[in-house]
Amino acid sequence: MIVEMRQAAEKADSEEAAEREMQRMVDEMKWATEEQVDEEAEERAYLERKRRQRRRKIERSRRTSKSPSRSRSRSKSHSGRKSRSRSHSRR
């Protein structure tokens, strides 16, 4: 009878240990997915920031150079400096 009780106790202990092990594995998987989700969110935020910066840069360049032909001719010769200062005073 004592042997049977010991065996039952050992069986219960091993079942508890198995249950704890399963729970530990589940927790680890949960943490791994949470980390992955965090990393993916960071990645998305980073890409969104870059996209916004690019869009802002494009908008800024569109605003500054209304006519590309004028900016092209200005880069060829430095005579455009006078006209540029005139356009600034007009604003």
Please indicate, yes or no, if residue 39 is contained in any of the structural domains: yes
Domain count along the chain: 1
Q: What angle do CA 21, 22, 25 make, to 5 degrees?
A: 85
Q: Is the pLDDT of residue 15 over 80?
A: yes
> pLDDT tens for residues 21-72?
999 999 999 999 999 999 999 999 999 999 999 999 999 888 876 665 555 5
Please indicate, yes or no, if residue 87 is contained in any of the structural domains: no
Please indicate, yes or no, if residue 34 is contained in any of the structural domains: yes
- Give residue 29's domain range: 25-55
Please indicate, yes or no, if residue 49 is contained in any of the structural domains: yes
d(CA 31, CA 28): 5
Please indicate, yes or no, if residue 29 is contained in any of the structural domains: yes
Please indicate, yes or no, if residue 40 is contained in any of the structural domains: yes
